[in-house]
Amino acid sequence: MRNDIHPVFGLLANRKPRLLRAVWCGLALAGLVALLPAGARAQASDSLAAGAARQLQRHQQRTLVEKLYVHLDRTVYTARETMWLKLYAVDGTFHRPLDLSSVAYVEVLNALGQPVLQTQVALRDATGRGALDLPATLPTGRYVVRAYTSWMKNFDPAFYFHTPVTIINTFAASGAPAGAPKAPAYDAQFFPEGGQLVQGVPGRVAFRVTDAAGRGQAVAGTVRDGQGRAVATFRTLQFGLGSFVFTPALGATYAAEMQLVTGQKLVQPLPAAAAQGYALRLTEASPGQLRLHVVAKGVGADAAHLALVGHSGQRVATAQVAQPNAHGEVDFLIATAELLPGVSHFTVFNSRRQPVGERLYFQRPRALPVAVAASQARYGLRDKVTLRLTGPPSTAANCSLAVYQLDSLTAGAAPADISSVLSLTSDLKGHVENPGYYLRDSSQTGQAAADNLMLTHGWSRFRWADVLADKAPALPYAPEPNGPVLRAQVLTAAGAPAPGVVTYLAAPSRIARFYTATSGPDGIAQFAPKDADGPRLYTLQTDWRRDSTYQLALLSPYSARFAAYPLAPLGLGPALAADLTRRHLQTQLQATYYGRYQQLQRLPRDTVAFYGTPPAQYRLDDYTRFKTLEEVLREYVQGVYVRQGPRLLVADQFHRTLFEDAPLVLLDGVPMFDVRKFLAFDPLRIQRVAVFTNRYFYGSQSFGGLLSFTTYQGDLQDFPLDARALLEEYTGVQGAREFFAPRYDGAPSPLPDLRNLLHWQPDLALAPGATREITFYTSDQTGRYQVVVQGLGANGQAGTARTVFEVKPAL
């Protein structure tokens, strides 16, 4: 393997060779010629453009992009309800299922960005499903659900999946906080196209006006120079976004005067125009072709040649070089057919290979052709509903489905859309209001709105300075292809990282689980425990006989970095009283009558100890029970000897002598370093002993045999661990849970049924061209019900289908 390829590919190669080949081919890492479309290959022969593209390619080899999307069953919950999750993992370029990670970390954050709920969800074949029980202590408010993998923790937390939800605590007083309402705060920002205004050169300026919650505000305004003369007028187009064109004069300054629909006025200075620099302007040259017009003013030989590198995700789409004319102008033409759906970046470089401007472009993706229809428009109470789900004709798809009641609480709460997240918001900086609009509206207005979004949310996942300097990124978090990785920190007594220290992790159990790792330069030791599901008690220690001064800590697997995510305030007025009352009753009745069906199930566990089947094993109840452990070992455990010190030694069965070094001694999987204390343990609490009378190798360590003692309960039976050992509970991957809903095809049930969520089915596999029928039953609740299907095709296409039906009593 080439030494410039990140170890993630080595992990994939060891786990799934076919996946490695797919990722390798998908990212087109065979060379720049393979990366570029045919029309760009000749242009890329110039070293200026090709060099930048090659270094971008090299950087991308090291930083495979992984994305997550989470389908939530609803957008509005009450405390004590269950939040159901379906996770999709994809690569960041083609959005095809990416089976890189086996664990996703899901959190619910409050308005202050603090986690109030956390869980780990197992991923298998690039999908996962889970659930979060919302405790009765959660206060009413807006929250954010975010999700990421270990590999994603290497990058900016803004790239994690985020979506807002509302949680209402009907058991506590709700509504707007007391006190006088605060005057709304508004923020206006202006963004020159390409990053810079240049004096004397026409430039386009985009703007964004939002309130404190990130909601776009409609404004109309005028741009005035320092003498008060109007040079341009503007108004927002959609969601507080808009743009205008004007030519900044030499030495002039400008300010924008804006008026909101409320009558409030804002004044904001525009970014200063530079006397020399580069101005960019992206327009449509013809159907299927873009023109990037670049003007270089006053930069001399730096603009002798200009290069353009365009990339979609991690695929280079174009690499061109051109010589500006006498006026410093040059046009680059880009075929839209060479761009992938979603966000593309166009970066312009000067003759010194310095990035001097960047522009984003959005190409609307084709939606996955998935459809859903109900057999009837109206159903009765406790009636059978049949949905017909039709998949895409030419690709397999994996879908998830939710059916929930529409009421005044859900009004205006648009759920996240898989296509808009994967192709749009996951590649943009900051909050995007109503992202689904940009995929639905293909009119001229919709295209202009999408362009305004690109101008105001421009962002790269990397710094060109790092790419051109061939700076290897710091990637402390490895992917987790085979289960969660537990990270421990080893520090010296002075608090400095302690490298090269062997650490021991164990989960006390009747099935011995024991792991070793050596701390790295940062003092971090990493373990990959088996059966790391649910709450487990772990012990972490070093061999204190060698050094007893180390400080140990088991690190949280959850990211401690957060991205700003504005949340709109929640006001629950009198008009919502009826729906709040109904939700309150629904929650209580569901918990009372159906709560016992909602228990998490444990994942299947390996029932064999880490050392396999021992060559010799003793059940102590089959022998005379002695009062001391030393007597047990002396009397009938063959091959084990107790010497003065005391010391335990094991016979080397192959060389018919004793090993000079000590054996590995375990109690319920926990290593015992103090032989004197261990021999004082009550043998009546021990059920069996396993003995290996041969040299035992484990990881990088070698032992003179192995002795494994197992108690009746597998919980150390109150054995006093050394004070230097860390004993900590750790909650791993959550167990599986099946969504429960009553069926009414048999004898009538006397239990009331006030379900708000009628059906949740996270795993719906569709073969190409296949259809499926999904059946479930309505509840005792009348009203309108929303059906939402989210799906991802094997080809990377994503789509959403919706329909609505009504439930009324039979006439």
Strand partners, 527: 486
What single DSSP character describes residue 522? Answer: T
Q: Which pLDDT band, with edges at 50, 70 and 90, does 599 fall under? A: low
Give CA 474 to chain center in angstroms. 19
The SS3 call for residue 553 is strand
The residue that leads in pLDDT, 409 or 381, is: 381
Distance in angstroms (rounded) separating the CA atoms of residues 698 and 606? 19
Q: For the residues 759-774, what does the mean pLDDT come to? A: 95
State the pLDDT at residue 7. 37
Residues 6 or more apart in contact with residue 727 via CB below 8 angstroms: 537, 538, 539, 721
Q: Name the H helices within 377-529.
A: 418-423, 436-440, 444-456, 464-468
Mean pLDDT of the chain: 88
> What does the alpha-carbon distance between residue 585 and residue 581 come to, in Å, rounded to a whole number?
6
Partnered with residue 363 across adjacent β-strands are: 342
Between the two ends of the chain, the Cα-to-Cα distance in Å is 72
Residue type, 532: A
- Cα 596 to Cα 65, 587, 593, 603, 740: the distances in Å are 41, 14, 8, 19, 10
b/e 456-467 (16+ beta carbons within 10 angstroms → b): bbbeebeebeeb
Torsions phi, psi of 799, nearest 5? -160, 165
**pLDDT: is 44 or 271 the higher one?**
271
From CA 257, how far away is CA 245, in angstroms rounded?
16
> Of 9 and 631, which is predicted with more confidence?
631
pLDDT tens, 155-187?
999 999 999 999 999 887 554 444 444 556 899
pLDDT at 459 over 80: no
Q: Which residue has the tokens 């060698």?
A: 546
Judged against a pLDDT cut of 50, whether residue 143 lies above it is answered with: yes
Q: What is the mean pLDDT of residues 775-788?
A: 95
* The pLDDT of residue 32 is above 70: no
> Does the pLDDT of residue 45 top 60, yes or no?
no
CA geometry: angle 512, 517, 521, nearest 5 deg: 165
Q: How sure is the predictor about 595, in pLDDT bands with cuts at 50, 70 and 90?
A: low
Question: Across residues 281-299, what is the average pLDDT?
Answer: 96
pLDDT of residue 37: 43
| Digit-coded pLDDT (tens) for 382-409 | 999 999 999 999 999 999 999 999 998 8
pLDDT in tens, 334-343: 999 999 999 9
The predicted-structure confidence for 475-533, as pLDDT tens digits, reads as follows: 999 999 999 999 999 999 999 999 999 999 999 999 998 999 999 999 999 999 988 88
Q: For the chain, which residues make up each domain, given as ranges? A: 616-731
CA distance 129 to 285: 46
Beta-carbon neighbour count of residue 228 at 10 Å? 8
Q: How confident is the model at residue 40 (pLDDT cuts 50, 70, 90)?
A: very low
Lookup: tokens for 758: 């009628």
**Separation between Cα atoms, residue 335 and residue 344, nearest integer Å:** 12
Mean pLDDT of 790-794: 97
Cα–Cα nearest to 348, from 287, 396, 418, 299: 299
Tell me, what's the pLDDT at 576? 84
pLDDT at 183: 53
Side chain identity at 338, as an amino acid letter? E
Among the residue ranges 131-135, 493-497, 592-596, the one predicted with the least confidence is 592-596
Residues 80-109 have pLDDT tens digits of 999 999 999 999 999 999 999 999 999 999
Percent of the chain with pLDDT over 70: 91
Q: How confident is the model at residue 800 (pLDDT cuts 50, 70, 90)?
A: very high
Across residues 410-419, what is the average pLDDT? 83
> Could you check whether the bond before residue 17 is cis, i.e. omega within 30 degrees of 0?
no
What's the confidence (pLDDT) of residue 594? 65
What is the total residue count of the chain? 811
pLDDT exceeds 90 at position 270: yes
Structure tokens belonging to residue 365:
């993706």
Average pLDDT over residues 25-54: 49
For residue 55, how far is the Cα from the chain centroid? 27
Query: Would you say 709 and 689 are in contact if contact means Cβ atoms under 8 Å apart?
Result: yes
pLDDT over 70 (residue 646) = yes
pLDDT at 444: 93
- DSSP single-letter state for residue 387: E
- Residue 568: per-residue pLDDT: 84
Exposure of 466 in the CB half-sphere (CA atoms within 13 A): 12
Amino acid at 776: F
Instruction: Specify whether domain 616-731 bears CATH 3.30.70.
Output: no
> Quick one: CA dihedral 331, 309, 192, 429, positive or negative?
positive
Helix pair 17-26, 7-15: axis angle to 10 deg: 140
**At residue 293, does pLDDT exceed 80?**
yes
